Amino acid sequence: MTVTIMASFYLGSPNRTRVREGLLQLARRVLNEQNCLRFDIHTGTDDPGQFILFHRWESRRDWQLFLNSDALHAFQDLFEDGVTDLVIKELTPHFVPTAASSVHAR
C-alpha cells in the first residue's frame, strides 16, 4: 500500500534560495533512485517562507529506507539554520482519483 508524507515548515529569508535549490536536487535524486512515486514542493502564495512537501512512496518500507538514505542526510545539513515549526505527517490514501475515475459536477 502506498503512503503519502506531508512535511510543513517555515524558513527565514536568508536560507530560502539555498534550501529551495537543495529541495529540487533532493526531489530529482529521490525520484530517480528510489521507489518514490511523487515529490511535490510547494511554497505559500502569501508567505514565501512556508514550505509544504508531499511525497508518495510505493510502500511504508520505502519511506523508512528514505529516512536513512544518504540523499536525505546530505540535505539535512541545509536545515540546520532557520527552519521552524517542522511538522511531518504520514498519511494513508483512501481514494486516489485517476483520469478514468474522475467525476465532474455540472
Question: How far from chain centre, in Å, is Cα 47?
Answer: 18
Q: Which residue has the higher pLDDT, 4 or 75?
A: 4
Return phi, psi of residue 98, to 5°. -120, 170
Q: Is the pLDDT of residue 96 over 70?
A: no
Q: Is the pLDDT of residue 91 over 60?
A: yes
Pairing of strands 83-91, 36-43: unpaired
CA distance 44 to 15: 16
CB 5 within 8 A of CB 63: yes
Q: Which residue has the higher pLDDT, 106 or 63?
A: 63
Q: How many CB atoms lie within 10 A of CB 73?
A: 10
Give pTM, 2 decimals.
Answer: 0.80
CA distance 91 to 50: 20
Q: What is the pLDDT of residues 13-68, one digit of tens each?
A: 777 888 888 889 989 988 988 899 999 999 999 998 999 999 999 999 999 999 99
Q: Which three cell numbers stand for residue 48?
A: 514565501
Domains of the chain: 3-92 (3.30.70.100)
The pLDDT score that the predictor gives to residue 78 is 73
